[in-house]
Structure 1
């Protein structure tokens, strides 16, 4: 199946940002059933569905032996039987989909992914500040005056080779349209940023990675961040998770998600293995980050309880919320210990924690057997 042309035609009709989703959403039909996929340049498989999606479609995926060790950066995926895919009047037969099992709380709002291998030989223009991802026939003339770097052809995901100072060194910057965040730095890069910004305020971020599980990270705001010759302004920054580090290889410098991509224009010439980058001067829009200073993540071994992880000096800490407190109520959301927490609830809680400064959130938490009710006013934590 040639998925490249299949996806290209669709993205021309469905620019990134259509509807409420922050992703480039792709409506797809598999065996006559309508589905929603996203373009994920951080995925190294051609096409992926969740096990829940496969079950809904009546597919029987074959999974590898769970005892077989995984290569770092890889996740354990099954393979579906052949299916028929329809998109914009085009039909593709005998397609085998990669199938990934996710815990209920991590199930996304979409049904699957189209990964970088499906589209890597085409020319793409990423203008996320304008909510557009465009297929172009050639590299726009204006882009030829931007910073030019090589695309790392040996990776299954979209990686850019950035020259670094000293000795002709190169660093790999991954571009991940499946990540809504800003910049994730390699451990040494994060350590350097913290050392040079010791008083920078931090909030906390929590997310699920199929390759690494639940990840909790401190998150700051970089007013100016140099990644080799590329300088980004006003981007969130945190330490990269083990999966991203493994995927980038020994020269991994960091990863940029959708929030960071809104701070630059990017053209990828897949056929020529080149990319052109230009930081945007018109910085508009608010930055999405956790303004409570606490995340509520599934308790280890128990997907029916969300427990707190709290950053010091934040509204959450000042309201008396402590590490390990169980979330019982947040606004209109009441959590039931007797039922697994669905992904939609996790996403809604994340949205509430990223509400604008001045928003008042009503919470009920449990510490041991004691319930505590609090009303917390969110504020701009990441302000120097």
Structure 2
């Protein structure tokens, strides 16, 4: 296990141990959705934690059960459908260890089955929230991990959960996380078209789909073992286009976005939502065991134990990038390494075991000439 994964793993364990009592009323996974227990005016309610919902809303049946009075009624378009929207009287709302007095939206036509409504990500009343799709756990805490996670700018002024994805650290586009939907990764029409052109023989099927409001539709779906979207890696999830999108995916405010992540896309990752620091942290967890994803080792030279000399396996990223047996390592990502007690340094081996998709800059000496190689790690042991 590499240091980044170990650090992140210890962080998760710390959350589980130090705040077990505080997490007693935490949201929990129920199939392909997250459920939250709360109280409204001291009466219990169960809500779907829906990061795609622009606001927290109760169904008309729930409002009636709780004897809530609507103080205002309007008609708004939700999902492109004219919908009656009511505003409740002030009420006492307690959730996840927090409490506030507020007004909530009532949607008389909202259907949530045995649940009472939807909870927006901005109303969880927790400073920092981690959704762990690997362990199927939701937790609240006060500190952020120091390392081991990708960090992206979070749109804190948006009722829906959007963040700015990067590609090698440079802005790439907006991504939408919607825990109210069960699907995996959905791409903008442009990205979906590009993927289909690159994979003309990929098997496709059709899946029915509808938002909370609107008509049923069918869309294409396939399966990917690995998909790289900017700096994020997705493992083992269904892939398809954003529903209803024509030329590009557009949010409720008329702004385009690259992709939409549903619950099945989160099965192999953990995300941390931190409104205070305006960050969304992501950690993808590969089902492939940790291993040397470079396909080369730099071993101590027999005549000079501090010098590291390459051995390269055929058909690996190192071999395909041009590294050769006998190359003498100078730097990896600008860092110099030397052998430790006759072995390759552990810190270097950890670099080679980083997640698939990681790009390493390796500089070597080949017969007195410095050569630089850019190598993208991949899962070799499949």
Q: TM-score, normalised by structure 1?
A: 0.60
Query: 1:376 — aligned with what?
Result: none
Instruction: Provide closer, same or farther for how the CA distance between residues 197 and 101 of structure 1 changes in structure 2, counting only shifts above 3 A.
Output: farther
Query: 2:45 — aligned with what?
Result: 35
Asked if 1:100 is matched to 2:102, the reply is no
Write the distance in 2 (CA, Å) between the matches of 1:211 and 1:41.
Answer: 16
Matched-pair contact (CA < 8 Å) for 2:72–2:88: no
Instruction: Provide closer, same or farther for how the CA distance between residues 283 and 250 of structure 1 changes in structure 2, counting only shifts above 3 A.
Output: farther
Query: 2:66 — aligned with what?
Result: 57
SS in 1 for 2:250: helix
Write the distance in 2 (CA, Å) between the matches of 1:240 and 1:120.
Answer: 30
**More contact order relative to length (CA 8 Å, sep ≥ 6):** 1
Q: Post-superposition shift, 1:175?
A: 1.4
> Residue 13 of structure 1 is aligned with which of 12, 24, 27?
24
> Residue 201 of structure 2 is aligned with which of 186, 196, 199?
199
Asked if 1:254 is matched to 2:267, the reply is no
Matched-pair contact (CA < 8 Å) for 1:31–1:83: yes
Query: 2:117 — aligned with what?
Result: 112
Matched-pair contact (CA < 8 Å) for 1:10–1:26: no
Query: 1:25 — aligned with what?
Result: 35
Q: TM-score, normalised by structure 2?
A: 0.60
Q: Post-superposition shift, 1:280?
A: 0.3
Q: Post-superposition shift, 1:263?
A: 1.2
CA RMSD across the alignment: 3.5
Write the distance in 1 (CA, Å) between the matches of 2:65 and 2:230.
Answer: 46
Write the distance in 2 (CA, Å) between the matches of 1:11 and 1:43.
Answer: 26
Write the distance in 2 (CA, Å) between the matches of 1:34 and 1:27.
Answer: 7
Write the distance in 2 (CA, Å) between the matches of 1:182 and 1:89.
Answer: 30
SS in 2 for 1:53: helix
- Listed as ranges, the gaps of 5+ residues in structure 2 are 1-18, 290-382
> Residue 155 of structure 1 is aligned with which of 142, 150, 158?
158
Write the distance in 2 (CA, Å) between the matches of 1:137 and 1:91.
Answer: 17
Q: Post-superposition shift, 1:121?
A: 7.4
Query: 1:145 — aligned with what?
Result: 148
Provide, for residues 127-183 of structure 1, a one-character-per-residue CA deviation record: whole Å limited to 9, x for no partner. 111011111211123xx23322111234222112012489x6531111122222211
Query: 2:304 — aligned with what?
Result: none
Q: How many residues in Structure 1 have an aligned counterpart in Structure 2? A: 268
Instruction: Provide closer, same or farther for how the CA distance between residues 98 and 191 of structure 1 changes in structure 2, counting only shifts above 3 A.
Output: same
Provide, for residues 65-113 of structure 1, a one-character-per-residue CA deviation record: whole Å limited to 9, x for no partner. 44x66796996532122333345787644x321112437xx53331112
Write the distance in 2 (CA, Å) between the matches of 1:27 and 1:121.
Answer: 14
Q: Post-superposition shift, 1:185?
A: 1.3
Write the distance in 1 (CA, Å) between the matches of 2:61 and 2:67.
Answer: 10
Matched-pair contact (CA < 8 Å) for 2:74–2:86: no
More helix by share: 1
Q: Which has the larger radius of gyration?
A: 2
Write the distance in 2 (CA, Å) between the matches of 1:116 and 1:32.
Answer: 22
Instruction: Provide closer, same or farther for how the CA distance between residues 88 and 217 of structure 1 changes in structure 2, counting only shifts above 3 A.
Output: closer
Provide, for residues 6-59 of structure 1, a one-character-per-residue CA deviation record: whole Å limited to 9, x for no partner. xx99982245545x44433222232443221132222221x2111222233333
Matched-pair contact (CA < 8 Å) for 2:132–2:269: yes
Q: Post-superposition shift, 1:230?
A: 0.9
Q: Post-superposition shift, 1:269?
A: 2.4
Instruction: Provide closer, same or farther for how the CA distance between residues 282 and 159 of structure 1 changes in structure 2, counting only shifts above 3 A.
Output: same
